[in-house]
Amino acid sequence: MTGHTVTDTPHDHPAAARGTAGVPASARRRVLSGVAVIVTGLVCALAWGLGAHAGDAVLRLSAVGDGSPILQIRVPGRQAGLVLGAVITLLGAWQLARGFSRRAMRAVSAVVVGCFVLAFLCWAGTGQPGTPVSVFGLLQQSIFAAIPLILGALAGILCERSGVINVAIEGQMLTGAFTAALAATMAQHAGAGIVLALLAGGLMGLLLAVFAIRYAVNQIVLGVVLNLFALGLTSFGFDLLMQRDPDAYNNPSVLAPLKIPLLGDIPLLGPLLFDANILVYITYVLIIGVQVSLFHTRWGLRTRAVGEHPKAADSVGVKVRATRYRNVILGGLVAGLGGAFLSIGAVGAFGAGMSNGKGFIALAAVIFGRWSPRGAVGAALLFGFADALQTLSSAITMPVTIPSAFLSMLPYLVTFLAVAGLVGHVRAPAAGGVPYMKG
């Protein structure tokens, strides 16, 4: 609690005018993050700049073999690393000396991460100078890997913003994946798969809601149990039906990409974002929809109130339990959709336990994204990028052979730094995990 005189704003306070003695905590954070950015910049310049071989790196920005014009840029790798490192270092120095505003700092962190990654790619391209590095492929794969994570994270946000912790995203996705494959095969129609995946996820959500809200079961334990339940159920179904007769039960076709006219023709962005399957477009809509409604609609305000201080919400007539039910079920629907993407959106078949921890990574994205859709998308993209990097290392020869395990760790490390140092501390919805009981 701040202690200035009740009727005064801090600026009227005579003591404020007299200046400050000592270093307040915000200044300390500024110094820390400034130093962190400078170190990142120096690492960038040293490793990716000086560590690069002589010669040019070629970065390809277009897909290969689809007839579209080839788009590639050629940059001297060493110089690129040094310049990008210098840019990062300068940003860090500015933060250290003057400090960016909170809002500007978000953009700055994005630029820092972007520069660092770009420098890395230039460095990687000098391993065999002249051989193109497919930046397009890398980005495409990142997005592809990020989509289910984003849907899972949105599911988590919907639940947790209303005060119910959702550890069961994994199970909800798995159920969705199973149902989508089964329904799409049996009905011979992808739409049936999507609809039933939604329903299956929603049902899992309902199960979570009933036990968490009505019976006040510990939500972490409940989530774990639901995950095991989903794993058992889908594996059983897989053995019973899909293994025996894959053609009749597990042979959905992969959702076909739909190219959006005009938008799909934009160089680089078009093929990257607007030539994908229907689930990807639904994801775009959901991202914007959840972000906007959470912060700008009546539903969003009430949801957040219920997640922060249910008693206060109740005292002004907001129905706490109803709000939570609705949000948890909505979350289940969205997670089910994420599951559908795994089976009929990407692979074209269900495999036992195919969610493979993605639900938990989505949960991490919720936290790293500070419970906001925008942040979670950023985090999910970083995780997606981690996935894509591993394949890159096997596709090209780098100046130094980096173990792929290390490569896949790198983006997590960057995320960790970004969250710990640059974004500030994370705060979960205050009433998360606490059931609401009335006297």
Partner 1 sequence: MKLELRTITKRFGSVTANDRIDLVVEPGEIHALLGENGAGKSTLMNILYGLHRPDEGQILIDDAPVSFGGPGDAKAAGIGMVHQHFMLVPVFTVTENVMLGHEPTKGLAFLDRRRARRRVTEISHRFGLEVPPDAVVADLSVGVRQRVEILKALSHDARLLVLDEPTAVLSPQETEQLINVIRTLRDAGTSIVFISHKLREVCRIADRITVIRRGAVVGTADPSASEGELASMMVGRPVRLTVDKVPAEPGEVVLDVRGLSLVGDDGVVLVDDLTFSVRGGEIFAIAGVQGNGQTEVTEALVGLVKPTTGSISVAGRDLGPLSTGEILDLGVGYVPEDRLRDGLVGDFSVAENLVLDLYDKPPFARSGALDLARIEADATARVREFDIRPPETTRAAGTLSGGNQQKIVLARELSRPLKLLIIAQPTRGLDVGSMEFVHRRIVAERDRGTAVVLVSTELDEVLGLADRMVVMYRGRIAGEVPAGAPAERIGLLMAGSAPDDQAAVPPGDVASAGVR
Which parts of this chain interact with partner 1 (CB under 8 A)?
1-7, 9-10, 13-16, 18, 20-22, 24-26, 296-302, 304-305, 308-309, 311-319, 430, 438-439
Measured from the CB atom, is 6 or 54 closer to partner 1?
A: 6
Greatest alpha-carbon span in the chain = 81
Q: What are 98's two structure tokens?
A: 């003057």
Measured from the CB atom, is 149 or 305 closer to partner 1?
A: 305
CB of 435 to partner 1, least distance (A): 12
CB of 22 to partner 1, least distance (A): 4
Backbone torsions φ then ψ of 56, nearest 5 degrees? -95, 145
Measured from the CB atom, is 301 or 396 closer to partner 1?
A: 301
Measured from the CB atom, is 29 or 106 closer to partner 1?
A: 29
CB of 313 to partner 1, least distance (A): 7
> Distance between the two ends of the chain, CA-based, in angstroms?
30
CB of 155 to partner 1, least distance (A): 22
Measured from the CB atom, is 261 or 439 closer to partner 1?
A: 439
CB of 30 to partner 1, least distance (A): 12
Measured from the CB atom, is 299 or 406 closer to partner 1?
A: 299
Give the β-pairing of 56-60 and 132-134: parallel
Answer whether 154's CB lies under 8 Å from 373's CB.
yes
Helix (H/G/I), strand (E/B), else coil: 435: coil
Backbone torsions φ then ψ of 76, nearest 5 degrees? -65, 115
CB of 422 to partner 1, least distance (A): 18
Burial class (CB in 10 A: 0-12, 13-18, 19+), 317: exposed
Among candidate residues 233, 248, 257, 237, the one with its CA nearest the CA of residue 187 = 248
CB of 15 to partner 1, least distance (A): 4
CB of 218 to partner 1, least distance (A): 14
Backbone torsions φ then ψ of 13, nearest 5 degrees? -70, 125
Measured from the CB atom, is 34 or 429 closer to partner 1?
A: 429
Measured from the CB atom, is 264 or 300 closer to partner 1?
A: 300
Sign of the CA dihedral with 220 first, then 223, 229, and 232 last: negative
Residues paired with 275 in a beta bridge: 259
Nearby residues of 384 by Cβ (< 8 Å), 6 or more positions away: 141, 142, 143, 144, 145, 146, 147, 149
Residues paired with 58 in a beta bridge: 74, 132
Measured from the CB atom, is 6 or 405 closer to partner 1?
A: 6
CB of 214 to partner 1, least distance (A): 17
Backbone torsions φ then ψ of 130, nearest 5 degrees? 100, -30
Among candidate residues 372, 366, 378, the one with its CA nearest the CA of residue 291 = 372
